Amino acid sequence: MNWTQFFAMGGYGFYVWSSYGLAAVILILNLYLPLHRRKTVRRLLREFVRLKRSSQPGSE
Amino acid sequence: MHKYASPKFFYALAGQLTPWLGGLTAILLIVGIYLGLFIAPADYQQGESYRIMFVHVPAAWMSMFIYMMMAGAGAIALVWNIKLAEIFSSVCAPVGASFTFLALVTGSLWGKPMWGTWWAWDARLTSELILFFLYIGYMALQASIDDPRRAARATAILALVGVVNIPVIHFSVEWWNTLHQPASVSKIGTPSIHPSMLAPLLLMIFAFSVYFFTVALIRMRNEILERERHTSWVAQVLESKT
Amino acid sequence: MPPLLNAIGCIFRRDITVALRRSTDILTPIIFFLIVVSLFPLGLGPEPAALRSIAPGVIWVAALLATMLSLNRLFANDHADGTLEQLLLSPHPLTVLVLTKIAAHWALTGLPLVLISPLLAIQMHLPPQAIGTLVLSLLLGTPVLSLLGAVGAALTLGLRGGGVLVSLLVLPLYTPVLIFGAGAVTGVIADIDIEAQFSLLGAFLALALTFAPWATAAALRVSIE
């Protein structure tokens, strides 16, 4: 298989690869953002639970 | 049944399911792209450019499918007051909107070589554009309500109104398009489907669907943690894994 | 008189009376409608043929926007002074009461738009036979705009940025009415049979009458609790 020919896509390379590239960006972003959010949520909630415990009367 | 619908149980189940679903998505995507880019022959009319179809059509399909899921789950949440349906419905929109965006841009990228213009008021692209606006409205409403319960119920009503309207909008645009179709712009004909083209297309649709559920589960888990932050099981979950 | 009819009559009369006392509220959308349409010749040039070709779309889009502007009035004032809560507590079915309010809203915004549209049609050089069609299409279409708009108004009740938000929710839903409303007028100018457009506008009205009051009532219950 000729790779140059493959990437040229019969002259439509720009359109085909932009489409697949954008699809990849969107798939990765939609996966990365909630995973990143998960870290933030866990950190914030851990803080939340710690504060709640320390503010409860008689816990310390 | 009650056990499966409890957020605590679901959180654990979803955590176990996501790696498997993620793996399945990856396999389906790799096989689909391999068949689509390497095995499927060039279309005799559109040459290699038709390969955009393997992302455009699944993205367009997902944009509709996710809206339906969102409205369906919203209806279940409204009628039976099931928390999980409510949470599921509330995490759909960003994914759906991004697939709609993908369908629009790939449609435009496909249109440029086929029609000679980046944008044509083609029936399918126009419907997709209005669907995109529907998603934007949904997310704007969701973002402007602070209370998650109220947000979920209000957006569910909006999604239901949208679902009733989507067929009407689609039909209207279709009709409008046949009336105003300029003669020079020919439609993107879906290439006469050969089995070697159909297989990657179906695989990609399936891959995108599994991908959506994977991402939805991850988002639902975040949402559950936030909503249930006052419960003791969340405190345990937070401590157990670092 | 049965109590439900009595209640409907009361709400309708009350809404009209309240609105008439604040007549600027009623006038604003109509003036807006006039100004927006009058701006187009200034932007495009006064060429009658060009104006005629865009007139149906321009007048219809302006009608959509004018309706949108008036949606805030539908529930916001009643929400502020507590009347809306009384309405929710009343023993009568909320959908019927909501429908009454929508009807009053249409009588105060949709109907004036319909009545003033021939003036704009003349301004935009629409041929005489198209003016009747324009009025008739607006007469069938504007109630749909009020009905769908009511859902948006109820959903955004009391939210920050409610005015702009309601346009994001409602405008995409208005597209079918726009297509067939403007399509009917364009059809008459092009001498095409326009029975289909009118049947469809009628069908949209029937559809909106069945679903919108129900959705509005549900949205009000969500917004006020």
Q: Is A28 on the interface with B (CB under 8 A)?
A: no
Q: Report pLDDT for A59.
A: 47
Parse chain A into domains and list their residue ranges.
15-55
Q: Helix C48-81 and helix C23-44: axis angle, to 10°? A: 150
Phi, psi of C98 (to 5 degrees): -65, -40
Site of tokens 């989507």 = B166
**Mean per-residue pLDDT, B113-120:** 82
Q: Report pLDDT for A57.
A: 62
Smallest CA–CA separation between B232 and chain C, in Å? 28
Lowest-pLDDT choice from B5-9, C102-106, C115-119: B5-9
pTM of structure: 0.90
| Residue among B130, B160, B168 whose CB faces C215 most closely | B160
Q: Report pLDDT for B188.
A: 52
Q: Report pLDDT for B231.
A: 82
Q: In chain B, which residues have their Cβ closer than 8 Å to the Cβ of A35?
A: 218
For the segment C46-80, what is each residue's pLDDT rounded down to a tens digit?
888 888 889 999 999 999 999 998 888 888 888 88
Q: Report pLDDT for B183.
A: 43
For the segment B51-74, what is each residue's pLDDT rounded down to a tens digit?
888 899 999 999 999 999 999 999
Q: Is B26 on the interface with A (CB under 8 A)?
A: no
Contact B154 C219 (CB under 8 A): yes
No. of helices (H) and no. of strands (E), chain A: 2, 0
Percent of residues, chain A, with pLDDT higher than 90: 28
| Residue among A23, A41, A48 whose CB faces B222 most closely | A41
Lowest-pLDDT choice from A26-40, B82-96, B132-146, B184-198: B184-198
Does B contact C via 3+ CB–CB distances below 8 Å?
yes
Confidence of residue C215 (pLDDT cuts 50, 70, 90): very high
CA distances B214 to B57, B59, B63, B98, Å, are 20, 16, 16, 15
Phi, psi of B43 (to 5 degrees): -75, 140
For the segment C175-208, what is each residue's pLDDT rounded down to a tens digit?
999 999 998 998 888 888 888 888 899 999 999 9
Does the pLDDT at position B138 exceed 50? yes
Q: In chain B, which residues have their Cβ closer than 8 Å to the Cβ of A43?
A: none
Contact C151 B130 (CB under 8 A): no
Which two structure tokens, joined as six digits, stand for C70?
A: 């008036």
- In what helix (H) or strand (E) does residue C45 lie, and over which residues does it extend? none
Give chain B's end-to-end CA distance (angstroms, integer): 31
Q: Is C159 on the interface with B (CB under 8 A)?
A: yes
For the segment B160-185, what is each residue's pLDDT rounded down to a tens digit?
999 988 888 888 888 887 776 554 44
- The residues pairing with B47 across neighbouring beta strands, listed in sequence order, are B43
Contact C218 B130 (CB under 8 A): no
Site of tokens 């851990």 = A46
Nearest to C173 by CA among B99, B137, B128: B137
Output the average pLDDT for chain B: 85
Report the residue count for chain B.
242
Contact B222 A48 (CB under 8 A): no
